[in-house]
Amino acid sequence: MRAAGFEKIIHIQMSLQLAEHQLFHNPFQEQLNLSLSLVSIARGSCRMLIRPDGGANTMPFGNLHIPEGRAVMSANISLDQIQFDDLAGKLRHAAPRPISLIVTLDTALSVDHDGVLFVDPPLDADITGIAWTIPLK
């Protein structure tokens, strides 16, 4: 859908730059810290924190925060333990090209024809879906 030079999108494609698995031993907790570059939005990045504290098939998966005037996003995702362990295992393997994902939001974002995001005021949206593309050898 286009209006006045802007397109409304609910899907954001991202490319994984860095993944870290953090373990805290007292009390035992773990999380994945991901650094992602935005593919479908120009000059943007996302810091994603994934924790194994969600229920199976729970919606939404998490939330995304975008500050005003910048395409520097932060996301928090909750997965159940089995999904978390599966994802952590898949991220450990070297891939022939970058891992990518598409995040689906419950709120539309406005981008211009060059892919520049416009956010005013800051935006908080629920993440309703995540689709990973993990290249195989």
Q: Residues 33-52: pLDDT tens digits? A: 999 999 999 989 999 999 99
User: In angstroms, rounded to a whole number, what is the distance separating the alpha carbons of residues 55 and 135?
Assistant: 27
User: In angstroms, rounded to a whole number, what is the distance separating the alpha carbons of residues 52 and 111?
Assistant: 32
The kind and range of the H/E element at 90 are helix 81-92
Model pTM greater than 0.85? yes
Which residue ranges in the chain fall short of pLDDT 70? 1-4, 56
User: In angstroms, rounded to a whole number, what is the distance separating the alpha carbons of residues 71 and 22?
Assistant: 26
Based on its alpha-carbon atoms, the radius of gyration of the chain, rounded to whole angstroms, reads: 16
> Where are the domains positioned within the chain?
2-133
Tokens representing residue 58 in the block: 């729970």
